[in-house]
Amino acid sequence: MSMESHRGVWIFLEQNHGEMAPVSWELAGAGRRIADKLDTELAGVLLGDNVEDLAKQAFAYGFDKVYLVEDGALKDYRNIPYTKAVSMLVEKYKPEIFLLGATTMGRDLAGAVATEVQTGLTADCTELEVEEDTRLLHAVRPTFGGKLMATIICDVLRPQMATVRPRVMAAPEQQEGRTGEIIREALPMKEEDIVVKVLGYIQENVKTANLDEAEIIVAGGKGIGEAKNFKLVEDLAEVLGGTVAASRAAVDAGWIGHEYQVGQTGVTVRPKIYIAIGISGAIQHLVGMQTSEVIIAINKDPEAPIFKTATYGIVGDLQEIVPALTEELRKRLAGESTTEGVEVASN
Amino acid sequence: MHVVVCIKQVPDTTEVRIDPKTNTLVRAGVPSIMNPYDIHAVEEAVRIKEQVGGKVTVITMGPPAAVQVLKEAVSLGADETVLVTDRVFAASDTFATSYVLASTIQKIAGSEPVDLIFAGKQAIDGDTAQTGPGIAQRMNLPLLTYVEKVRSIDVENKKIVVERRLEGSKQIVESTLPALLTVEKEINDVRYATLPNLIKAATHNPKAWDHTVIEADRTKVGLKGSPTRVGRSFVQQLTNEPGEIIEGTPQEAVVSLVDKLFAEGHLVADR
Ligand SMILES: Cc1cc2nc3c(=O)[nH]c(=O)nc-3n(C[C@H](O)[C@H](O)[C@H](O)COP(=O)(O)OP(=O)(O)OC[C@H]3O[C@@H](n4cnc5c(N)ncnc54)[C@H](O)[C@@H]3O)c2cc1C
Ligand SMILES: Nc1ncnc2c1ncn2[C@@H]1O[C@H](COP(=O)(O)O)[C@@H](O)[C@H]1O
């Protein structure tokens, strides 16, 4: 494959019924930086029904061009027509780098497109770098449950494709009045040829909103041990007037719903106080809470990485520490003195 | 209804540790397990067989030791298994792996048509979620990822209706069969293996196929057939000030922590 024939950095502009996935704008910053380094253009790929307005927004976020495919058949995301349209664009306009958000849509689409256009794909990256002379993309991703980071490269095929985790990069500022070029293409298939039909949606009350805004968060991890022990976390949260949250391991164990997960694949939080109970402090958890004002860690393992990020740590068994802490706070917040008779300032 | 399930043997990543001195993965003594999502894929295939009749064939690409997960699949109710194993497959990335698995399914379909293919949402060693989409695309089949529920299967008209997980909602879709589904853990609760199935599993001997059996092109598998390469791997660390460990008995530590929170104004009493 001739590498010189492929130029330009592309980003899939993921929209759902007219609403942009934030990750697309988050990617704009990294995309712009890479495109500038390679002295090439930054282009967006936008598919949907009546979505041209979003192309204009893309220019404000730093895109030079938007490849736009509008068709009634693209109103709802379906793998078949999206793969067909995106593969057609890639084969016709030959980008050298193509990035998508690692959302359900982005991962579904990327896997199919990479296979169709026959190139390498790196999933779920958290960092992107590019080598100027070789023009190689270095896509950094966690493996082995996040315990190890690996840099993946694709040196013989183009485009170099990667999906990038939402919320690991910051969206750039919008530049009002910035414009660019729209290149239109038609969907190369008809509705009759699409064997998958969307029958409807089930909307869910996503409870993430309170976590985003919570001032005090008490989070439980795998160290909680079993579902009924989550009560310890809830009791402490209640005394503090805070919200409960969890690590992915606790969510995977089924002790609490997805919507309470803090971290790279969950919610990013920034409360005044974050209490991590039985959480080891894997990097994917830390990136979601490290900017909290005060971090308190309770863990029986003195070597747990969470202690490196915590403002205060207590080494010990959570079964002992947490009830004691809850009780102490109950008294002190009510203005009573401690069990040991220490005088408390009350207002 | 002939259902094929793709399963992978993975190291139990919760047991994998990093050697703090060398910053490398310690895999010694780490148990190998069936990828947790794939267990639910096998369970769903078996439930569908129980409901509409048919057969479940489970396949895995891996080293000879991967026979273990195939036996486990039999204990869960699978009928036939195939171990796709060959030195030339070593170091395959998801692009090459999906080629091997698609070739295997095509071979199986040659003697007995396949109506439905299951894969897990992702494998926990790499978390890529690319193999399922890769197989579907290579076989030109409709792809339904992140399935949380199979609502109905119409054997006669060859149709399936499923619920797929999206961010904040679920999508209800209908597809023609054959189709490829990747599943979430929510799709079912895995039942205990029955005694007859356990006995069957104990004596079960999977078929072992190499690249010649599945008629795979040698240049499209293994390192040669893999467009991605792993460069550097490392342990990521945050660089910030280590915090203060509060010493003492649990009660002392708790009191001293609460003192600090009040003294620094992070908490104030109600009255
Ligand atoms: C792509 C990717 C994305 C991810 N996204 C996220 C994410 O968004 N959020 C997230 O949290 N994780 C995420 N992870 C997973 C992450 O890598 C860790 O596996 C996870 O955070 C570990 O959760 P944990 O700390 O609760 O469990 P563990 O790592 O198992 O830690 C449990 C801790 O509890 C302690 N403990 C045990 N018993 C007691 C006791 N009785 N008293 C006190 N302490 C005790 C142990 O010492 C240990 O430190 C992701 C991984 C990957 C690969
Ligand atoms: N070597 C393999 N053999 C059989 N199935 C596999 C293999 N690798 C991946 N799969 C299937 O593809 C799914 C997703 O894997 P991955 O793309 O590696 O995250 C797994 O849950 C399996 O169902």
Q: Is the separation of the CB atoms in B150 and B160 below 8 Å? A: yes
Asked if the structure places residue A299 within a domain, the reply is yes
Asked if the structure places residue A1 within a domain, the reply is no
Residue given tokens 């082995």 in the structure block: A144
The pTM of the full predicted model, rounded to 2 decimals, is: 0.81
Q: Is the separation of the CB atoms in A11 and A24 below 8 Å? A: yes
Asked if the structure places residue B8 within a domain, the reply is yes
Per-residue pLDDT reduced to its tens digit, A19-78: 999 999 999 999 999 999 999 999 999 999 999 999 999 999 999 999 999 999 999 999
Same domain, A33 and A88: yes
A123: nearest CA partner in chain B: B128
- pLDDT interval class at A258 (50, 70, 90): confident
B34 lines ligand 2 (CB under 6 A): no
- pLDDT interval class at B236 (50, 70, 90): low
Question: What number of CA atoms fall less than 13 Å from residue B248's CA on the CB side?
Answer: 12
Q: Which of A7-16, A287-296, B111-120 comes out lowest in average pLDDT?
A: A287-296
Q: Classify A263 as helix, strand or coil.
A: coil
Index of the ligand 1 atom closest to the CA of residue A265: 8
Per-residue pLDDT reduced to its tens digit, B23-46: 677 778 889 999 999 999 999 999
Nearest residue, CB atoms, B13 vs list A121, A147, A286: A147
DSSP letter at A135 equals -
Q: Is the N-terminal amide bond of A22 cis, ω within 30° of 0?
A: no
A341: nearest CA partner in chain B: B255
- Rounded to whole angstroms, how far apart are CA atoms A263 and A280? 13
Q: Which of A197-201, A203-207, A324-328, B267-271 comes out lowest in average pLDDT?
A: A203-207
Q: Above 80 in pLDDT, residue B117?
A: yes
Q: How many CB pairs under 8 A join A and B?
A: 266
A109: nearest CA partner in chain B: B133
A339: nearest CA partner in chain B: B255
Q: Return the CATH number at B43.
A: 3.40.50.620
Q: Does B126 sit within 8 Å of A203, measured CB to CB?
A: no
Q: Does A150 sit within 8 Å of B232, measured CB to CB?
A: yes
Same domain, A41 and A182: yes
Q: Is the separation of the CB atoms in A142 and B230 below 8 Å? A: no
Chain B neighbors of A325, CB-CB under 8 A: 254, 257-258
Per-residue pLDDT reduced to its tens digit, B80-92: 999 999 999 999 9
Q: How far is the CA of A26 from the centre of ligand 1 (A)?
A: 26
For A137, B164, B181, the CA distances from B133, given in Å and listed in that order, are: 23, 14, 9
Ligand 1 pocket mutation, candidates A127, A285, A289, A322, criterion most atoms within 8 A of CB: A285
B119 lines ligand 2 (CB under 6 A): yes
Q: What ranges in A75-207 are assigned the alpha helix state H?
A: 79-93, 104-116
Per-residue pLDDT reduced to its tens digit, B97-113: 999 999 999 999 999 99
Per-residue pLDDT reduced to its tens digit, A185-196: 999 999 999 999
Mean pLDDT (whole number) for A266-287: 90
Counting ligands in written order, which one lies closest to the CA of residue B42? 2
Same domain, A216 and A189: no
Same domain, A25 and A72: yes
Rg (CA), chain A: 24
Q: Above 90 in pLDDT, residue B18?
A: no
Question: What number of CA atoms fall less than 13 Å from residue A239's CA on the CB side?
Answer: 23
Same domain, A248 and A130: no
Q: How far is the CA of B75 from the centre of ligand 2 (A)?
A: 20
Index of the ligand 1 atom closest to the CA of residue A304: 49
Considering only residues A111 and B126, tell me which one the structure prediction assigns the higher pLDDT.
A111
Q: Return the CATH number at A217.
A: 3.40.50.1220
Q: Above 60 in pLDDT, residue A10?
A: yes
The number of distinct structural domains making up chain B is 1
Q: Does B175 sit within 8 Å of A108, measured CB to CB?
A: no
What pLDDT does A343 receive?
43
Nearest residue, CB atoms, A198 vs list B13, B171, B236: B171
Mean pLDDT (whole number) for A203-222: 79
Q: Which of A30-39, A205-214, B192-201, B249-258 comes out lowest in average pLDDT?
A: A205-214
Same domain, A157 and A239: no
What value does the mean pLDDT of chain B take? 93
What pLDDT does B269 receive?
82
A161 lines ligand 1 (CB under 6 A): no
Chain B neighbors of A162, CB-CB under 8 A: none
Asked if the structure places residue B105 within a domain, the reply is yes
End-to-end Cα spacing for chain A: 73
CA distance A268 to chain B (A): 15
Nearest residue, CB atoms, B254 vs list A116, A305, A324: A324
Q: B55: domain range?
A: 2-220
Asked if the structure places residue B25 within a domain, the reply is yes
Where are the strands (E) in chain A, listed by range? 9-13, 15-16, 19-20, 42-48, 65-70, 97-101, 121-125, 127-130, 137-143, 148-153, 160-164, 181-185, 197-203, 216-220, 243-246, 273-277, 294-299, 312-315
Q: Return the CATH number at A36.
A: 3.40.50.620
Counting ligands in written order, which one lies closest to the CA of residue A115? 2
What pLDDT does A111 receive?
97
Same domain, A111 and A255: no
The number of distinct structural domains making up chain A is 2
Name which of A197, A200, A196, A233 is nearest A216 in CA terms: A233
Index of the ligand 1 atom closest to the CA of residue A143: 53
Same domain, A63 and A159: yes
A301 φ, ψ to 5°?
A: -100, 110
What pLDDT does A259 receive?
85
Asked if the structure places residue B33 within a domain, the reply is yes
- Rounded to whole angstroms, how far apart are CA atoms A342 and A330? 15
Counting ligands in written order, which one lies closest to the CA of residue B97? 2
Index of the ligand 1 atom closest to the CA of residue A221: 26
Proportion of chain A above pLDDT 70, given as a percent: 95
Per-residue pLDDT reduced to its tens digit, A73-108: 999 999 999 999 999 999 999 999 999 999 999 999
Other C-beta atoms closer than 10 Å to the C-beta of A19 total: 9
Q: Does B262 sit within 8 Å of A309, measured CB to CB?
A: no
Chain A neighbors of B127, CB-CB under 8 A: 123-124, 142-143, 145
Q: Is the separation of the CB atoms in B126 and B112 below 8 Å? A: no
- Rounded to whole angstroms, how far apart are CA atoms A147 and B14? 9
Q: Which of A44-53, B94-103, B160-169, B238-247 comes out lowest in average pLDDT?
A: B238-247
Compute the Cα dihedral for B81, B87, B90, B94 and give only its sign: negative
Asked if the structure places residue A199 within a domain, the reply is no
Q: Which residues contact A13 (CB under 8 A, 6 or more apart)?
A: A20, A24, A44, A45, A46, A54, A55, A58, A66
Strand partners, A162: A99, A122
Q: Does B250 sit within 8 Å of A314, measured CB to CB?
A: yes
Strand partners, B6: B59
Same domain, A167 and A261: no
Proportion of chain A above pLDDT 90, given as a percent: 77
Nearest CA to ligand 2 atom 4: B60
End-to-end Cα spacing for chain B: 69
Asked if the structure places residue B226 within a domain, the reply is no
Q: How far is the CA of A281 from the centre of ligand 1 (A)?
A: 6
Chain B neighbors of A308, CB-CB under 8 A: 237-238, 240, 242-243
In this structure, what token pair is assigned to residue A142?
């966690």
Q: Which residues contact B88 (CB under 8 A, 6 or more apart)?
A: B211, B218, B221, B222
Proportion of chain B above pLDDT 90, given as a percent: 83
What pLDDT does A142 receive?
83
Same domain, A173 and A238: no
What pLDDT does B238 receive?
59
Q: A66: domain range?
A: 9-193
What value does the mean pLDDT of chain A take? 92
Asked if the structure places residue B60 within a domain, the reply is yes
In this structure, what token pair is assigned to residue A322?
């947490």
Q: Which of A6, A98, A104 should be substituted to probe chain B, the one whose Cβ sees the most B Cβ atoms within 10 Å? A: A104
Asked if the structure places residue A200 within a domain, the reply is no
Same domain, A55 and A178: yes
Other C-beta atoms closer than 10 Å to the C-beta of A154 total: 25
Q: Does A324 sit within 8 Å of B267, measured CB to CB?
A: no
Per-residue pLDDT reduced to its tens digit, B172-218: 999 999 999 999 999 999 999 999 999 999 999 999 999 999 999 99
Q: Does B133 sit within 8 Å of A314, measured CB to CB?
A: no
Per-residue pLDDT reduced to its tens digit, A59-74: 999 999 999 999 999 9
Nearest CA to ligand 1 atom 52: A146
Per-residue pLDDT reduced to its tens digit, A150-200: 999 999 999 999 999 887 788 899 999 999 999 999 999 999 999 999 999
